[in-house]
Amino acid sequence: MSFESGMTHGRGLFGSETGITHECGLFGIWGRSEAARLVYYGLHSLQHRGQDAAGIVVKNGETLSRYKGAGLLTDVFSENVLSQMKGSAAIGHVLYSIGDPEYHNAIQPLLFHFEKSSLAVCQNGAYVNAKSLRKTLENYGSIFQTKCNSEILAHIIRRSRLVTFAESVKRSLSQVHGGFAILMMTQEGLFAARDSRGLRPLVLGKICDEKHGDSYVISSETCALDTVSAKYLRDIEPGEVVFINNDGISSEYFTSDRELRVCGMEYIYIARPDSNLQGVNVHTSRKNAGRIIAQESPTQADIVIASPDTGISAAIGYAEAMRIPYEIGVIKSRYIGRTFISPTQELREQGVKMKLSAVRSIIDGKSVILVDDSIVRGTTMKHMATLLREAGAREVHVKVASPLFRHQCFYGIGLPASHKLISHKKTEAQIAKSLGMDSISCISEKGLADAIGIPDSGKCRGLCLACLNGDYPTHLQDFAGDNVRE
C-alpha cells in the first residue's frame, strides 16, 4: 500500500501499470467535506465490481493525493488512513484484474503531476483501439510507464493544445473508442464520461444540504448513491462528458455518433440487484427472466433452487410462474469472492469448492430445478451437479437466465476467448451431459431483451448482446482481423 501526494508542480508519481480490462467500480464526489470517506462508502457498495485492489485520490486545496493497495476495500483503507485523507473532492476505483500477474501495479486512479497541474484518471472498460493509439503516441515521443488504457487517455489530453482543459478532454475522448466509463479530476473540477454506446454504466447523483451546499456524485451504479444519501438525477448519456466544479455542473457530447447499447451482462450478472440501470431495476429484470424461462421451457419438479447469489431473482420468478416451491437448497459462504472474476481456472475451482454447500434435508430425494444467471466456463455448474447428486437429488434440471455465451467481449468484460467457453460448438444437451445435469435450458435472446425491457425503440432495444450473438455495436478496430465469431 502507498500514500502519494503532490502540489501542482509535482514529481510525476505513477507506477508501471498493466493492460487491464475489467468490470471495475467508479465513484466520485465534488464539493463535500470528508470527500474521501464518502468515496470509501460508495466504493464499498461497488465492491462486487472489483475485489483485487482499491484506490482513492483526494483533492485538498491545490494538492491531489492518492492512497492505493491490493485487496478488498476494508483491507486497504483503515480508519487511520481515511482520517488523513482530508479534502472536498475525491474519486475512487475498485479493481478486477482478470488474472494479470502484475495487477498490484495497475491500481487506479492513476495520478499524474505536470508543471502547473495534476490529473487523476480512472476508468471501467476497454478501448478497441488502444494498441493503435499507443503506437501513434510513442511515434510522437510519448513514453509510457504503464499498459493501462487510462494512461493512454492522459497522454492524449496532455498533448492537446486546445485553450481550455474541458475542450482538451472532449477532443481526447473522441479519439478513444470502445466501452468505457471514465472519471477524471484536476484541481479545478471533476469530469465524468461514458462511451458513445453507453456500454459501461455511469450515473449522476446529488447530495442536497441547505447548510453546506449541494454536492454532485458520480457512480457506476445507483446502489452506491443510496449509501451516501445521494439523490439519483439521471444516467449519464452515451457520448456525454459531464463537467463539475465550484460553479456547478454542465455537460456536452464529445461525439455525434451516439446510440444506447448498454452491456447485457450488467443485468445478467455484474450489477447489484438493488441498482437501477437506464431506469430498469436489476432484480426486476432478473425475476422477469425467470418467468420468461418458465414460459419458454417449462419443467415440472419438486422444488426450485438458485445458484447463489445472482441466480436468486430469476429462481424466484421461475418458481412463481410454475407454482413450484422455492427453497434455499445451496448455501454460499459470505467470505469467498465472486468466482467468475477469479483470475485463474485453478483459483475458480478452489473458490467454488469453498463457497458452496448443499442443504441435504431440502435436496434428498427431490427432483430439482436449479436456476442460474449464466454459464460461462461451467466451473460452478459442474461442482453444483456433484453437490446436488451427493445430497440425494433424483433429477437436476438447469434453467439459465441468459442465452449461451458464444463470443468474446472486446469492451471490458472478462469473458475468455470463444473457444474456451463451455458453449463452444456444443448444444444445450451436450453441455448438460458434460456437466452431469439431466437437462439445461437457456432463455432466448428475445426473452432476455423482453425481461430487461429498456424503453428504447429499434432492433437492438438499447442492449449490447455481442457476447451472445456476435453483433458488436462498434467497429472492433485493433481486433477487426480476429476471427471473433469462432
CB 465 within 8 A of CB 264: yes
Question: What one-character-per-residue DSSP string does 89-151 give?
Answer: EEEEEEE--TT-TTGGG-PSSEEEE-SS-EEEEEEEEEETTHHHHHHHHHHTT---S---HHH
Residues 6+ apart with CB under 8 A from 67: 1, 2, 3, 4, 55, 56, 76, 77, 81, 85
Strand 110-113 and strand 178-185: the pairing is unpaired
Distance CA(73)–CA(189), nearest Å, equals 25
Quote the cell numbers at residue 406: 458464444
Distance CA(114)–CA(131), nearest Å, equals 25
Distance CA(285)–CA(271), nearest Å, equals 11
Which regions of 248-394 does DSSP assign to beta strands (E)? Answer: 248-253, 262-263, 276-277, 280-281, 303-306, 330-332, 356-358, 367-372
Query: What 3-state class would DSSP assign to 453?
Result: coil
Helix 149-159 to helix 130-139 angle, to the nearest 10 degrees? 40
Choose, from 24, 148, 263, 464, the residue flagged as catalytic. 24
- Among candidate residues 311, 301, 307, 302, the one with its CA nearest the CA of residue 330: 307
Assess whether 409 carries a catalytic annotation: no
Distance CA(139)–CA(263), nearest Å, equals 34
Query: What 3-state class would DSSP assign to 191?
Result: strand
Distance CA(169)–CA(162), nearest Å, equals 9
Tell me which residues are annotated as active site: 24
